[in-house]
Amino acid sequence: MLDPDLNGKEKRHMIEKIINRSHYPLPGITLTFTKDSINRYISSFREQGFEGLLPKQHTQYLRRYKNIMWATFKINMNDPLASMQQLRDIIAKGPETSPEAKDASLKFLDQCLTSLDTRVPKYKPIYLDRSLTDDEIDKLESYVRRGSKNNRNRAIALLMANEQRTMPEIILASNSSAATAYRWFNRFKEEGIDFIETKINKAKTNIEFRERVQRITKIIHCPPGDYGINRTAWRLEDIAKVYENKYHKKLSIASIRRSIKKTGYSYKRAIRVLTSPDPEYLEKTKKVLKTLRNLGPHDAFFFIDEGGPYQVKKYGGKSWTPKGATKTFPQFQTPKGRVTFIGALDALKNQVTLFFTKSKNTAAVVCLIKILFYRYHGYSTLYLTWDCASWHRSKGLQKCLNKLNADEKGPNIKVVPLPKQSQFLNVIESVFSGMKKAVIFNSDYQSEYEMKVAIDRHFQERNEYFKANPKRAGNKIWDKEYYNLDELDSGLFRRM
């Protein structure tokens, strides 16, 4: 007990005696003392008695409670079960401040100790199949002193198992897992300590890996239906199943993924390409490209197509929208009218000539051709290209062309038709698509007149832009490498 009436000399002597103690009040508890802390403990004891050394209930550790004596319980991570037993002994020997809480704590710890001791074998001592000889111990100790990291870990595990240490101690000392340690013990049972210096046969491993890659490549080259799998594309799980059934060897999903990556294969989505079923596709395409690339200074080439009909109603589309809001438009609407037009795109000047019409027919095409004939009256030849619509081959259209060509003062008009279903060669299709994104999507026009004004203004602004910034129409149709006439295939081209 501390005496409150100690003088200064006796107090200093007592402090030095407490600091120099090598034992602790209770096993497993460490008390940390300094001269200043002992002075604070004595002052607190003198003012408040023994209660001044205890922590206050329902309070946190603040600076005004710096006189409280705190104890630290250290847990041995090599053997947590022993630390729990030590904690149980400390609670049992401690003061009985609350008998009910103490009895409940001891009962709970006894149940935990009993359960862990019977159900967790990792806290039990490890035994080797046989004891190590003196020569083997000397050799293993040499591995510990001068061996590589892998050899040193194996030697440490064997030496500790020979001393019947627990698995947590072996795991921490050898820097391994329990499964790895047990594998080492099984190899020691079969091979002795010579397994420590066993090295992986890399040549054999590489041969096995190459053989695995070849087998997997053969599997994925065949459709899954050939192996009785009701799918059209391979999954990693299906490849593993087929590999096991065919070669009687089980592979993990990770191994199959590494093997497929080695082959250079990857999981990609198929791209839809535009093709043409026209039997004269090659001849017609070559004629169009040759005409484009050999235009004279007084020649003009026009891509012609119809646009619409576009219903006058509310349209959806992409636009900037506030967070949490969603723009909507009705699925079923009563249209306020329809807008149809026919346009011609000058391939050299990139200018659009537009003509609004009620329907797509021969009369609309004839009107557009007459507009071009008189607008480009000073040119020598006008080349027209369009798709295979029925009104593009009508007798009335042919009669109109013959009549215009009979005029010696005007330009000569020649038709260079496109192959069937080859809209990717008709550049004006992409121009109409850009117009639709600009003035049709997100629109809610109230009449045909409003929509026509917006469409006409769009093409006027476009024509003014390309007058100030000259550029030929079509990005790739002029590219001789992209459309090589000598190596032109059956029309597998992406959209321009």
DSSP sequence for 73-124:
EPP-TT-HHHHHHHHHHHHHHS--S-HHHHHHHHHHHHHHHHHHHHH-GGGS
Mean pLDDT value across residues 149-177 = 85
The mean pLDDT of the chain is 80
Which range of 30-34, 48-52, 62-66, 455-459 scores highest in mean pLDDT? It is 455-459
Which amino acid is located at 286 in the chain? Answer: K
At residue 336, does pLDDT exceed 90? yes
Query: Among 314-323, 344-353, 484-493, whose mean pLDDT is lowest?
Result: 484-493
pLDDT value of residue 353: 94
Kindly report, residue by residue over 444-476, the tens digit of the pLDDT: 999 999 999 999 999 999 999 999 999 988 877
For the structural domain made of 281-487, what CATH number should be given? 3.30.420.10
Widest CA span in the chain: 136
Q: Which of 414, 422, 434 has its CA nearest to residue 292?
A: 414
379, 362 contact by CB (below 8 A): no
pLDDT value of residue 354: 93
Which range of 28-37, 145-154, 252-261, 263-272 scores highest in mean pLDDT? It is 252-261
Burial of 469 (0-12, 13-18, 19+ CB in 10 A): exposed
* CA gap 155, 147 in Å, rounded: 9
| Structure token pair of residue 454 | 């917006």
User: Sorting pLDDT into bands at 50, 70 and 90, what band is 262?
Assistant: confident
> Who has greater pLDDT, 495 or 327?
327
Mean pLDDT value across residues 165-184 = 84
> What is the SS3 assignment for 172?
helix
pLDDT value of residue 38: 66
- Residue 403 sits at φ, ψ, to 5 deg, of -65, -40
Cross-strand bridge partners of residue 291? none
* CA gap 410, 421 in Å, rounded: 32
At residue 241, does pLDDT exceed 70? yes
Q: Which residue has the tokens 């003062």?
A: 409
Q: Which residue has the tokens 């037009």?
A: 341
Cross-strand bridge partners of residue 345? 303, 352
At residue 97, does pLDDT exceed 70? no
Provide the percentage of residues in the chain whose pLDDT is more than 90. 28
pLDDT value of residue 25: 43
H helix intervals, 176-316: 178-191, 202-220, 236-247, 253-263, 281-293
Query: Among 5-9, 163-167, 264-268, 366-370, whose mean pLDDT is lowest?
Result: 5-9
245, 226 contact by CB (below 8 A): no
At residue 496, does pLDDT exceed 60? no
Kindly report, residue by residue over 74-90, the tens digit of the pLDDT: 566 555 666 677 677 77
User: Which value, to the nearest 10 degrees, does the dihedral of the CA atoms of residues 478, 479, 485, 491 take?
Assistant: -90
* CA gap 53, 40 in Å, rounded: 10
User: Sorting pLDDT into bands at 50, 70 and 90, what band is 481?
Assistant: low
Q: Which of 427, 441, 409, 438 has its CA nearest to residue 478?
A: 427
> What is the SS3 assignment for 325?
coil
Computed from CA positions of residues 227, 231, 234, 236, in that sequence, does the dihedral angle turn out positive or negative? negative
Kindly report, residue by residue over 269-323, the tens digit of the pLDDT: 887 766 677 778 878 888 888 888 888 889 999 999 999 899 999 999 989 999 9
Kindly report, residue by residue over 112-140, the tens digit of the pLDDT: 766 555 444 556 778 888 888 888 888 88
* Cα distances (angstroms) measured from residue 468 to each of 3, 302, 465: 104, 20, 5
User: Sorting pLDDT into bands at 50, 70 and 90, what band is 104?
Assistant: confident
Mean pLDDT value across residues 253-272 = 86
pLDDT value of residue 78: 56
Buried b (16+ CB within 10 A) or exposed e, 401-428: beebeeeeebbebebbbbbeebebbbbb
Provide the percentage of residues in the chain whose pLDDT is more than 70. 74
* CA gap 72, 311 in Å, rounded: 82
Q: Give the up-direction half-sphere exposure of residue 357: CA atoms within 13 A in the CB hemisphere.
A: 19
